[in-house]
A and B are shown apart, each in its own frame.
Chain A
Amino acid sequence: MAEEMNELQSLTIDGSEYKTRYTKKYANRRVWEYPDSRKVISYIPGTVIEQYFKDGDAVKAGEPIMLFEAMKMQTKVYMPYDGIIKNYCVAIGERYPKEHVLVEIE
């Protein structure tokens, strides 16, 4: 067990607070966040091949806004609802990790 994990922390279960050590996995767990519908997020690492609009364009739901390549497959990314593209947060030809914000919508 790593040294830093040896310190006693607090863990609350059913209203009772326990003194205990954390595992590395627990200490590094991702805290859940409510999904923000104004952000289009990559769910797999990949490369941006093309963008079909520019910042400020009004786009209808279901229109493709971007071509994204991951695992040798090209996938179109679609507009989730009617709105205005506030910001393409990507550059063409660049590779982005998983859960990166690709587009912000207003």
Chain B
Amino acid sequence: MSLKRSIQDLKKRRALVQKGGGEKAIEKQVAKGKLTARDRIKAILDPDSFHEYDLFVEHQSRDFNMDKKVLHGDGVVTGTGTIFGSPVCIYAQDFTVEGGSLGLMHARKITKIMDHALKLRVPIIGINDSGGARIQEGVNSLAGYGEIFYRNTLASGVIPQLSVILGPCAGGAVYSPALTDFVFVVDQISKMFITGPAVIETVLGEKISMEDLGGARVHSEITGNAHFYAESEEECFNQIKKLISYIPWNNSTKAKAIPPKSPNFEKHIEEIIPADPREPYDVRDVIKAIVDDSDFFEIMELWAANIVIGFGRMNGETVGFVANQPLVLAGVLDCDSSDKAARFIRYCDAFNIPIVTLEDMPGYLPGVDQEHAGVIRHGAKVLYAYSEATVPKITVILRKAYGGGYIAMNSRHLGADFMFSWPSAEIAVMGPEGAANIIFRKEIMEAEDPEQMRLDKVAEYKEKFANPYVAAAKGYIDAVIEPEETRSILLHALEVSTSKDDYRPAKKHGVPPF
């Protein structure tokens, strides 16, 4: 064969394989409002940056007449490319080929690109759209899943791992996304569950739709399995690109800085927070009043909304924000918000992203359901994550810092580098009402007018303790600042912390209260 003919032959082969499961299957895929695997990859990556590998991999299954079936690329597309010029490894399961089912070679392609990502030390993005294990391949498909999970774990904390759920992802398949750092879901398209509606109905008699069991909304709002919720694939791809712009390629580099921009938030920072600590406000407004360009990229917006996490930039550099949200459940810590904050803190620490904590919280959520759900061990994760983190850790107490919450929210005692407080802050074991009831119980009970006495004592307690100066007198607070100084002092604190070097005792790994 002449070179020219060989080239033509190659082109033909490529064209054939790139059709995936063929026209009909592609039509079906598109009819569901879904893009094909290759189109998805191209939509995420910079134009013309995608390079595909293992195009001609074939499956090795011989049983159940599988040897007569041709499965192009074995149902998965893998390759490398760039997002805003940053390199990434990527794979996308191709539902048009045998339902994107995972067989041995399909899994080998995925583990190969994962190994690549880990060696090249660049992020890995996995697009899930698969009916699950290829049953005809038996234990080989299970082996495939296991080898993916193993690599997810090895890569954890070394390179960013993103999972994009754009179709079914059921049974064992869900555990790869669950092991990764960020999970993206799209309304009506993503479906994730361990056991599907059919089995649940047969065994337990519980009737539920796929959407209600494991749809995008459920995982964004109820289970906390998903980090980013989108209405369409396009919106989802934009979220992926934006996230990539905030995070470093790996754990030994820093995220790319961009030219700094001043905040341009419409509200003045002093006007956001009501003076009465029992009145709500949206803490995201405070973040927007502080960060570059007032651009805050929130993570897990719908789940455990009583704590806010996400990325913003300060002087062009990425910072992770953790903030109590008085607008929802008064900003308490509970099981879910503790899990949410702790994992994010560990992410930031693993990838050298400084953490700014904005505190305004009344304590932990009371209730039998919380205690029985294990708020003790969940709450402990926050203490663990903050104490363990060695990145720059800065706290600003905006208003309330009561009790266990004061300790948990990156206090000096857990190793905060800088503790700032607004003058309106109340740092105390509990709110004035509760404290007065306990300390002055006898006086209140014995008073002629107990209600008046109670109000007097609440006022007395407020006067004495509901301020930041008791903590400042002990050196627990480094500086009491005016709200307007918040951004400038944070910029300074971050600047002087750039070469922070903190040590922890040598160990194989800790044993966090998972």
| Residue ranges of A at the interface with B (Cβ–Cβ < 8 Å) | 1, 8, 11, 13-26, 29-30, 32, 44-45, 70-72, 95, 97
Contacts and interface: CB of A to CB of B under 8 A. Distances in A.
Nearest to B276: A19
Interface in B409-455: 430-435, 437
B278 interface: yes
B329 A19 contact: no
B221 A20 contact: no
B11 to A, nearest CB: 52
B312 to A, nearest CB: 21
Contacts of A72: 203
Contacts of A17: 278, 433
B302 interface: yes
Contacts of B363: 13-14
Contact of B222 (A8, A24, A30): A24
A18 B336 contact: no
A21 B430 CA distance: 21
Contacts of A32: 367-369, 372
B326 A20 contact: yes
Nearest to A72: B203
B336 A13 contact: no
B340 to A, nearest CB: 12
B433 A14 contact: yes
Nearest to B363: A13
B160 interface: no
Which of A16, A25, A26, A29 is packed against the most chain B CB atoms within 10 Å?
A16
A11 B206 contact: no
Contacts, number: 88
B409 to A, nearest CB: 15
A72 B327 CA distance: 47
B125 interface: no
B304 interface: yes
Contact of A15 (B304, B328, B434): B434
Contacts of B221: 24
A8 B434 CA distance: 22
B383 interface: no
B362 interface: yes
B205 interface: yes
Interface string B356-378: 00000011011111001000000
Interface in B264-292: 277-280
Contacts of B369: 29-30, 32
Contacts of A24: 221-222
A19 B336 contact: no
25 contacts: A13-B362, A13-B363, A14-B362, A14-B363, A14-B402, A14-B433, A14-B435, A15-B430, A16-B277, A16-B278, A16-B431, A18-B330, A19-B280, A20-B331, A21-B327, A21-B328, A22-B329, A23-B305, A23-B328, A24-B221, A32-B367, A32-B372, A44-B204, A45-B205, A97-B205
Contacts of A15: 430-431, 433-434, 437
Nearest to B278: A18
4 closest Cβ pairs, A-B complex:
A14-B434, A15-B434, A32-B368, A16-B431
Given A1-B305, A19-B279, A13 B330 contact: yes
B332 interface: yes
B205 A23 contact: no
B403 interface: yes
B362 A16 contact: yes
Given A16-B432, A23-B328, 16 more contacts: A13-B363, A13-B431, A14-B363, A14-B435, A16-B431, A17-B278, A18-B280, A18-B362, A21-B327, A21-B328, A25-B222, A30-B369, A32-B367, A32-B372, A45-B206, A97-B205
